[in-house]
Amino acid sequence: MSNRLVMSVRRSALLNRQLPEELAELLRQEGVDPSKAWLSAEADLNLSGAYERVFLLAESDRLLTVAHPRDGFPRPIRLDIPRQALKEIRTRRGVGGGFLEALVEGIYVEILAYSNAQADTFHKVSKKLQDWLAGKEASTGPEDDYDPRKCPICGMTLRFKGDTCPRCVDRGAILTRVLRLMKPYTGWAILMFALLMVVVALQMIPPRLQKLLVDKALLTPAEPIPLATREMWLFWLVLAWLGVRVLASIGRMVNGRLSSFVATQITHDMRNSVLSRLTNLSVNYHDNNSVGRLISRVSYDTEVFGQFVRQVTQGFLAQIVMLTVTGVMLFSISWKLAMWTLLPAPFVLLASSFYWRRLYPRYHRVWDSRSRMTGSLSSILSGIRVVKAFGQEHREQQRFSRSSGYYRNSSRNVAYATSIFNPSMAFLFQVGGLVAWYVGGGEIIRQEGLTLGGLVGFSAYLGMFYAPLTNLTQLTDWLTRFFTASQRTFEIIDTAPEIVESENPKPLPAPRGGVVFENVTFGYSRHDPVIKNVSFEIRPGEYVGIVGKSGSGKTTLVNLLARFYDVDEGRVLIDGVDVRELDIEDVRKSIGVVLQEPFLFRGTIYANITYGRREATPEQVIAAAKVANSHDFILRQPLGYDTWVGERGAGLSGGEKQRVSIARALLYDPKILVLDEATSNVDTESEQLIQKALGRVTTGRTTIAIAHRLSTLKSANHILVVDGGQIVEQGSHEELMERGGLYHRLVKIQTELSREPTVDRLAEEDRRKK
């Protein structure tokens, strides 16, 4: 066997590692020239599971592992296996790491160990070495260094290909983005801000009126003023005061209504944006995020955007404006007195900074525990039948109680901290107020210019000054919640869908239904392929069965065809075009899927059947239902096609749900129909009805049937037998039975099992006897 070994001039940093010079020299003394190796990879563990730099060298005729000599290993060469002794190379997953193994003399020998940080590298190495053993071109180059699961900026491992790197996501832009969200409401925002300024200005008037009231009307003046004049001052000043209060209240009411309108609208828009992104994200993203957590993000986190609007118009921005204006007023009355009132400010700043640092992680805990509680509740309620069937109500109550307890404790922690902090701050400000009375009172007694009216007005402004200052100590609290929740929301919006549309997608206007899998390899987890180098072809209109044991990779083939996931290697073609180059919508339109667990949505039967084709007429819906053998039972429902079904089709039997889902698939009119164990969950009578329906449905379209009951595949043109992620047999039912392989064994087992009496069979026999 000979193959071409290519060492690119441009070298791979991962697969052409430079050996330390000292080690290279030791190897040269042993007659090994490291520069001759076409592949050189570095592992971080030795075979005892301890950290050590161990290198794998692949020369044209042998494989070596080398490392610095140490106790027990006096020579630098740890393993030296000639190529002709190697039959296969594979990776094997351990816990926290893995192994590169070689099949030598009939047994798998561990060549190298590595931690999970290097799992991807050695998965690549394994592939290269397998090509090398198979006599294919084996080469390494800079392209081998590309890893879509690493952040291109910081190199951190991402959860999946295309995931947003949380370290590199632009946080500084959060506020800008929130403001940008408000752009459509710019006019409203200006109006609200103007109203806010008017209200603040109006609120500045009463203390001035108070000053005049005391000095002009209430206090006995040094020079006598007629009683009538003082009573007139009293009347007009109180009237003016009332007028100002009325206007300020109206201003606040209008502003409150406007901000509520805008706030609820922005929250609504954000919820829609987040859900829109969630529905567009790939299946893999949803595999990695629990439903409870996502519900929490859509439902609760988006509320902070509405709160932001309220805070800007009525909350913190209003408080800041009020603080500034009252500050100016205080200084205008007595700058000396105003200076005294600022004494607590440094303490406030220090305390706020401490509060920010200590509280931040606690809010994450509150959010996390709430998500966990929601997830727990969702799990219990979704599985309530199983809970009841196994009599585990009490245990589930306890489980929920634990989750709720976590939430209680974390919320309590935050609340405790807040309840100490806020009153402490309020106390500090009150001390400042007392100082003002003491110092101001002294000025009046000593007649240093400040009047009693001035001090009363000053005190009124001081109340207005302290109120926002006290509230502003909660600004950090609110900002923390705001940035945390908005960051989580933007995280979803910024997550790039893993399945990305080609820049110039090719349309598939009239699909014929030809399917080709070309050397396809794919794995859900990073280094554990589920499909291994699979190739097959399905011609348009063919009925193809896929059989195999559970976990053999049958459904994964369909997931790749529908492009729920992208292949790691190879290609999947529909009508000769790579699915990655096709318009995703066209791909999905050309494929209809009937699943083992038919998923019906809450709504009418009619709405469920027309789910993929809203414009269908009642005639078309009835025709589809007839073909799917569901028309008769639908008519037996009290409201026929307008009958409502509950969550997941509650109210219909398993067979009925399945037939509705077949009608749905049929109305969608796909050129490729996938039946994923469509009859494995129903009784025999329903199965017969469904089989009859399917017989009619599959005519004229490419049908891929993943079948549990092999008897249903007798009419298939072609059967693919999948095992361990590979196609191990293919042919017609008769050919495979003759071959006597895995298919033959599976059919035999099922035939044995089908001889066992079942309720359906006994009922049938009973009917015949009668």
Partner 1 sequence: MTEPNQNPDAGTPDPTQVRFLTPELCRIHLGSHGALHVTVKDERIYGGVYAVHGFPVGYPQGYISLIYTGGEAGDIEIGIIRDLGEFPPDDAELIREALRRRFFVHTITRIRHIGWKYGYINMEVDTDKGPVSFMMRGRHNNAVDFGPKGKVLIDVDDNRYLIPDVEQLPTRQKHDFRRYIYW
**Residues at the contact surface with partner 1, assessed by CB under 8 A:** 45, 47-51, 79, 81, 92, 94-97, 99, 101, 104-110, 113, 115-117, 119, 156-157, 159, 166-167, 169, 171, 360-362, 364-365, 368-369, 372, 406, 409-410, 487-488, 491, 526, 724
Rounded Cα gap, residues 614 and 621, in angstroms = 10
Pairing of strands 138-140, 515-522: unpaired
Q: How far is the CB of 328 from partner 1 (least distance, A)?
A: 40
**Between 149 and 310, CB nearer to partner 1:** 149
**Between 97 and 206, CB nearer to partner 1:** 97
Across-strand partners of 638? none
**Between 271 and 372, CB nearer to partner 1:** 372
Rounded Cα gap, residues 84 and 37, in angstroms = 17
DSSP letters for 118-144: GHHHHHHHHHHHHHHHTT--EEE-GGG
Rounded Cα gap, residues 690 and 62, in angstroms = 58
**Between 359 and 621, CB nearer to partner 1:** 359
Q: How far is the CB of 107 from partner 1 (least distance, A)?
A: 3
**Between 16 and 369, CB nearer to partner 1:** 369
Across-strand partners of 723? 726
User: 105-112: long-range contacts at Cβ-Cβ below 8 A with a sequence spacing of 24 or more?
Assistant: 109/81, 110/47, 111/56, 111/63, 111/65, 111/79, 111/81, 112/43, 112/47, 112/54, 112/56, 112/65
**Between 240 and 278, CB nearer to partner 1:** 278
Q: How far is the CB of 347 from partner 1 (least distance, A)?
A: 25
Q: How far is the CB of 287 from partner 1 (least distance, A)?
A: 12
Q: How far is the CB of 78 from partner 1 (least distance, A)?
A: 9
* Angle, vertex CA 729, rays to CA 724 and CA 733, nearest 5: 130
Q: Are 462 and 338 in contact (CB under 8 A)?
A: no
Rounded Cα gap, residues 491 and 493, in angstroms = 6
* Angle, vertex CA 148, rays to CA 147 and CA 151, nearest 5: 90
Q: How far is the CB of 166 from partner 1 (least distance, A)?
A: 5
**Between 79 and 455, CB nearer to partner 1:** 79
Rounded Cα gap, residues 89 and 27, in angstroms = 24
634 to each of 442, 594, 637, 660, 748, how far by Cα in Å?
Answer: 90, 19, 5, 9, 38
**Between 41 and 119, CB nearer to partner 1:** 119
Q: How far is the CB of 526 from partner 1 (least distance, A)?
A: 8
Report CA dihedral (218, 466, 192, 484) to the nearest 10 degrees.
-170
Exposed, middle or buried, 145 (CB in 10 Å: 0-12/13-18/19+)?
Answer: middle
Q: How far is the CB of 738 from partner 1 (least distance, A)?
A: 20
**Between 365 and 399, CB nearer to partner 1:** 365
Q: In which region does residue 299 sit, left (phi positive, over 0), alpha (psi from -120 to 50) or beta (all else)?
A: alpha
Q: Which residues, in sequence order, are CB contacts of 746 under 8 Å at separation 6+?
A: 547, 549, 710
Q: Give 150's DSSP letter.
A: B
Q: Tokens 């509280």 label which residue?
A: 359
Q: How far is the CB of 544 from partner 1 (least distance, A)?
A: 24
Q: How far is the CB of 192 from partner 1 (least distance, A)?
A: 33
Phi, psi at residue 136, to the nearest 5°?
A: -85, 170
Rounded Cα gap, residues 165 and 264, in angstroms = 31
Q: How far is the CB of 401 from partner 1 (least distance, A)?
A: 15
**Between 487 and 691, CB nearer to partner 1:** 487
**Between 102 and 584, CB nearer to partner 1:** 102
**Between 133 and 666, CB nearer to partner 1:** 133
The closest alpha carbon to 27, from 19, 17, 16, belongs to 19
**Between 164 and 684, CB nearer to partner 1:** 164
Q: Are 298 and 275 in contact (CB under 8 A)?
A: yes
712 to each of 705, 709, 715, how far by Cα in Å?
Answer: 9, 6, 7
Q: How far is the CB of 92 from partner 1 (least distance, A)?
A: 8
Q: How far is the CB of 548 from partner 1 (least distance, A)?
A: 13
**Between 364 and 692, CB nearer to partner 1:** 364
Q: How far is the CB of 112 from partner 1 (least distance, A)?
A: 11
**Between 68 and 310, CB nearer to partner 1:** 68
Q: Which residues, in sequence order, are CB contacts of 629 under 8 Å at separation 6+?
A: 659, 662, 689, 690, 692, 693
Q: Are 628 and 605 in contact (CB under 8 A)?
A: no
Q: Are 131 and 138 in contact (CB under 8 A)?
A: yes
Q: How far is the CB of 171 from partner 1 (least distance, A)?
A: 7
The residue length of the chain stands at: 770
Q: And the tokens for 34?
A: 């490291």
Q: Are 351 and 422 in contact (CB under 8 A)?
A: no
The closest alpha carbon to 123, from 203, 199, 43, belongs to 43
**Between 113 and 428, CB nearer to partner 1:** 113
Q: How far is the CB of 361 from partner 1 (least distance, A)?
A: 5
Q: How far is the CB of 49 from partner 1 (least distance, A)?
A: 5
**Between 274 and 456, CB nearer to partner 1:** 274
